[in-house]
A and B are shown apart, each in its own frame.
Chain A
Amino acid sequence: MKKALFALLLLCLPLIASAQQERDFATQYMLLYAGQDTTLVCQTISPDMMKHMINREEVEQDDELKSILRQIRTLQVVRAEGKTPAQDNFEKAVDLAKLNTQRYKLYAYGDTYQIYLRKKGDIIVELVHINLMEDAFCIINLTGYMTKDFIKLLSH
Chain B
Amino acid sequence: MKKIDFRYDLLPLKNKLFRLALRITLDSAEAEDVTQDTLVRAWQRRDELEKVDSIEAYCMTICRNLALDRREKRDAQHLSLDENPIETADASPLPDERLERDERLRHVHRLFNQLPERLRTILQLRDIEGKSVRETAQILEMTEENVKVTHHRARQLLRQQYQKIESHGL
Question: A and B: direct contact (Cβ < 8 Å)?
Answer: no
